[in-house]
């Protein structure tokens, strides 16, 4: 089979924290009226599985095609219950709820799910007053935390950091977090929708009963971990393959890597049969060319490049191209070696997320 880029349907979430930044600032077409808090661009989450809209698999679920062709789509030797990452645009016009997601162990033990939800946020736009709340300050007991959550005094027990466009924040499962307001991000995460919140309202803004609010706080405390403190990171540049192009690694770990591609020249992405690549365009249209043809990727559109597609060239249609690329890395090959070659120290590479230098894979 000759493999080509895979396009798919996206899913819209209308959570209370969003407004209209995704269509109005990012330029995404075809979204419904009203609140568009999130668009799930690449999704095999069990409740929101995307339908493929291009090529020989058009009309079929991404989930089913991945199950039939795991080596060719995800990467040689990969096996799993679903496509491993979920990519989304997210509008935090208002502060997100204070919440966490299960890690893998908690997902299996507590929820009977195959994996949890480590995630990362790449900041596309942030107002001057935008910030993140992430991680618990040392020295607080569960009762201290409980009282702070009931008083909605989150800054007393959590760290707050300012954010700016171009930052990336890596957030493992079981770490309490939120961000906003007036913030537009690109999020990559493990394929999961598990979550616990300490807020007195639900995601649609409805007030919870006191009993439910307290039960949610207890559930959050039962999953909360304090072993990682997320911080905004400006990323590290890989060695330039083409003069004028900039490839910046925003985060990396065992579950995903995220890169920002700022292109002034055609960018050649050589074949990598061990991993797929997702591309989401956050700038002007680009042309994606492979051995079997070429097509245009418009503003705020996304596609999946299967592992078996071979060499790909991405060419900006105007003066500049601007994309977010995500994949499941072989850490030594895809992250550690090229960043060391660019002169970055191991400490800076480690700060990208969860990079295991001993095993590298």
Is the entire prediction scored with pTM above 0.75? yes
How large is the average pLDDT for residues 18-43?
98
Q: How many degrees, rounded to 5, is the angle at CA 23 between CA 18 and CA 24?
A: 90
**Residues 58-77: tens digit of each pLDDT:** 999 999 999 999 999 999 99
CA distance 313 to 332: 24
Q: Do domains 11-223 and 236-350 have the same CATH topology?
A: yes
CATH topology of domain 236-350: Jelly Rolls (2.60.120)
Strand-pairing partners, residue 186, are 89, 122
Nearest CA to 127 out of 178, 171, 168, 182 is that of 182
Q: Are 4 and 290 in contact (CB under 8 A)?
A: yes
Domain spans, the chain: 11-223, 236-350
Q: In sequence order, what are the residues at sequence separation of 6 or more whose Cβ sits closer than 8 angstroms to the Cβ of residue 179?
A: 92, 95, 96, 121, 130, 131, 132, 133, 134, 163, 169, 185
pLDDT of 118 reads: 98
The tokens describing 316, both together, are: 């900006």
Mean pLDDT of 11-27: 98
Average confidence score pLDDT of the chain: 97
**Residue 310 to residue 187: CA distance in whole angstroms:** 26
Return the higher-pLDDT residue of 86 and 356.
Answer: 86
Rounded CA-CA distance 277/299 in Å is 18
pLDDT at res. 51: 98
Query: Average pLDDT in the 124-148 region?
Result: 98
pLDDT per residue over 172-182, tens digit each? 999 999 999 99
pLDDT per residue over 273-324, tens digit each? 999 999 999 999 999 999 999 999 999 999 999 999 999 999 999 889 999 9
The pLDDT score that the predictor gives to residue 344 is 98
Cβ–Cβ contacts within 10 Å for residue 317, how many?
14
* Residue with the larger pLDDT of the pair 318 and 16: 16
Q: Is the pLDDT of residue 269 over 90?
A: yes
| Whether pLDDT at 359 is above 80 | no
Spatial CB neighbours of 128, under 8 Å, sequence gap ≥ 6: none
pLDDT-derived band at 240 (thresholds 50, 70, 90) equals confident
**360 pLDDT above the threshold of 80:** no
d(CA 344, CA 339): 6
Return the CATH architecture of domain 11-223: Sandwich (2.60)
Quickly state the pLDDT bin for 151 (edges 50, 70, 90): very high
Phi, psi of 247 (to 5 degrees): -115, 110
pLDDT of residue 39: 98
241 confidence band (pLDDT: 50, 70, 90):
confident
């Amino acid at each position: 089979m000759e493999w080509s880029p895979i396009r798919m349907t996206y899913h819209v979430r209308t959570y209370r924290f969003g407004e209209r930044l995704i269509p109005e600032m990012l330029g995404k077409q075809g979204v419904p009226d009203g609140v568009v808090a999130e668009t799930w661009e690449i999704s095999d989450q069990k409740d929101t599985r995307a339908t493929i809209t291009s090529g020989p698999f058009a009309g079929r679920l991404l989930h089913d095609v991945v199950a039939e062709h795991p080596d060719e789509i995800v990467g040689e030797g990969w096996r799993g219950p679903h496509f491993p990452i979920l990519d989304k645009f997210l509008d935090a016009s208002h502060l997100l709820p204070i919440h966490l997601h299960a890690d893998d162990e908690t997902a299996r033990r507590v929820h009977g799910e195959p994996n949890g939800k480590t995630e990362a946020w790449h900041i596309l736009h942030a107002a001057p007053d935008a910030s993140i709340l992430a991680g618990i300050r040392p020295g607080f007991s569960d009762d201290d935390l409980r009282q702070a959550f009931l008083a909605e005094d989150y800054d007393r027990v959590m760290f707050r950091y300012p954010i700016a466009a171009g930052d990336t924040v890596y957030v493992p499962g079981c770490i309490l977090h939120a961000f906003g307001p007036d913030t537009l991000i690109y999020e990559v995460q493990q394929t999961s929708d598990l979550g616990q919140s300490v807020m007195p309202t639900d995601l649609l803004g409805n007030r919870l009963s006191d009993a439910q609010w307290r039960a949610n706080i207890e559930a959050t405390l039962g999953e909360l971990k304090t072993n990682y403190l997320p911080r905004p990171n400006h990323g590290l540049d890989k060695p330039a393959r083409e003069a004028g192009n900039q490839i910046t690694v925003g985060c990396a770990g065992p579950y995903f890597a995220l890169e920002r591609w700022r292109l002034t020249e055609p960018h050649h992405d050589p074949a990598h049969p061990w991993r797929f690549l997702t591309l989401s365009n956050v700038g002007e249209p680009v042309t994606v060319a492979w051995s079997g043809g070429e097509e245009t990727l418009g503003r705020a559109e996304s596609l999946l490049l299967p592992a078996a597609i071979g060499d790909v060239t991405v060419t900006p249609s105007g003066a500049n191209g601007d994309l977010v690329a995500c994949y499941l890395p072989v850490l030594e090959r895809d992250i550690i070696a090229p960043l060391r070659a660019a002169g970055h120290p191991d400490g800076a590479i480690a700060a990208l997320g969860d990079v295991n230098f001993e095993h590298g894979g």
